[in-house]
Amino acid sequence: MFDNIELNDIDIFDKKGEELPELILDSINDAICVVDINCITKYWNKAAEKLYNIDKEKIINRHIKEFFPNSLLPRIIRERKAYDNIYNSPREGCYNVISASPLYMNGRLIGGISLDRDATEFIKISELLVKAQSNLNVLEHEISIINKNRYSFSQILGNNNSFRDSIRLARNISKSNINVLITGESGTGKELFARAIHLESGRNGYFVPINCSAIPNELIESELFGYSPGAFTGALKSGKIGKIELAHNGTLFLDEIGDMPVNMQPKILRVLENGEMTRIGSEKTIKTNIRVITATNKNLSEMVEKGFFRKDLYYRLNSVVIHLPPLRERRDDIPLLINRFIEDYCMEYGINILGIAPQVMEIFRNHRWEGNIRELKNIIERIVVLAKNNNTDIIDMSFLPKDFIGDRIINPYPKQESVYDLNNILDNAEKEAIINVMKNTGNNKSHAAKLLNIPRSTLYFKLKKHNLEE
């Protein structure tokens, strides 16, 4: 664009002068480059040498594009326009933030100057953060799939009529925003139902559980509402987000709601009525969009009558009441649950258990199960661990704790297998189905697992269980 201009009458680049200006420029941490109007490099400070690993002797009197094809200096000379804090990559693998402007003397354009600040490390860190965020998104997606498979209604086992009615009611109200109260004894699966409702609802936010009985009364407000920086002695300097705020666009699960302190109940009521909350020590009101699911093993209506629970909050929470029957009222589901828990723990501990002695199953069916499904699950895990340590594949009376059967009348004669034994019928049907699918798929386990609608790991377990391994 510009013709070569002789600058013999301008000695700004060639004049030796005093050493002070150069000393000053070399002490600056930013890389400084000066070019003439033809983009020939005339000055290159020590910071530039260090940043780009190019000695002054190599670049002086050479065209800037020989070293930096994407240099901004030719552009500012061509456009006669300054640029400030521009992200630039003058060459591959090199990133900086540059400010450049044209140089004038006596109103005449004589060249350009640039100040480069190294941003390579920042860019690399940024790229790592982007990659980490991408990996996090993938992990969150995988976890959501795992949670869906683990906590969906399809994973809740039970054929008992009363229990199936509770499942149908929970599924039917899942997609609404109505508040839900889940009642039942400890260990009946109240949190499992709450998680299934959240997944079925399709809400984008988190499922945030909090056990009201496990948090001291003086701390529950800060756990639920959070606090602003310096709200009280011992508070984090950065403040803390509360469970309610964390559950925005999601579900807040208040377990053991009957143990919530009376002084906290009106504050929860305000959140339910107005969808607003305020952190401790703050005057700013925060809007929240949450679905509240509560659970209790207490009789809230009796607590209301005795003044231990607010009536207005109770009627806010019990828009829909889902009652989960205790395990002793759904004994027909016990064999189904036992088989599932045995499968799960066998895969976890690497053991193959082929069966349970009929007498043991009879004890399970007649046990009081005061701890309900949680108690059953714990005893099954104990049995599987003991079976592995004893290298056996049959669960008999020797694996049951003494206090578990101490007050029971045990039939000393094991029952004979009946042609109507449902467990045997189900096992035989399962084995036959697996044989047929493996045959039709040419022993392709991946394809067979898809047809059976079970994980491949479960198929491996069942092949070993039925002695169908190749």
pLDDT of residue 167: 94
**423 exposure class (CB count in 10 Å sphere: 0-12, 13-18, 19+):** middle
- H/E segment holding residue 262: none
pLDDT of residue 138: 62
Using DSSP's 3-state secondary structure scheme, residue 41 falls into: strand
Residues 6 or more apart in contact with residue 74 via CB below 8 angstroms: 39, 64, 65
| Rg of the chain in Å (alpha carbons) | 37
Q: How far apart are CA 100 and CA 91, in angstroms?
A: 17
pLDDT of residue 118: 79
**208 exposure class (CB count in 10 Å sphere: 0-12, 13-18, 19+):** buried
Strands 355-356 and 394-395: what pairing?
A: parallel
- H/E segment holding residue 85: strand 83-91
pLDDT of residue 435: 83
Query: What are the residue ranges in the chain where pLDDT is below 70?
Result: 1-20, 90-93, 120-121, 123-124, 127, 134-135, 137-150, 405-423, 469-470
Contact 359, 410 (CB under 8 A): yes
pLDDT of residue 103: 92
DSSP state of 15: -
Q: How far apart are CA 385 and CA 351, in angstroms?
A: 9
- H/E segment holding residue 17: none
Beta bridge pairs of residue 91? 94
Answering whether pTM is above 0.75, one says: no
DSSP assignment string, 135-183: HHHHHHHHHHHHHHHHHSGGG-----HHHHHHHHHHHHHTTS---EEEE
Q: How far apart are CA 227 and CA 212, in angstroms?
A: 18
- H/E segment holding residue 457: helix 456-465
pLDDT of residue 416: 44
Residues 6 or more apart in contact with residue 295 via CB below 8 angstroms: 181, 182, 183, 184, 190, 191, 194, 253, 254, 255, 256, 257
Q: How far apart are CA 71 and CA 266, in angstroms?
A: 65
pLDDT of residue 104: 92
Nearest to 463 by CA among 336, 335, 343: 343
Ordered structural domains, the chain, with CATH = 20-118 (3.30.450.20), 152-325 (3.40.50.300), 330-465 (1.10.8.60)
Task: Tell me how crowded residue 442 is: count the other CB atoms within 10 A of its CB.
Answer: 8
Output the furthest CA–CA distance in the chain (Å, rounded): 120
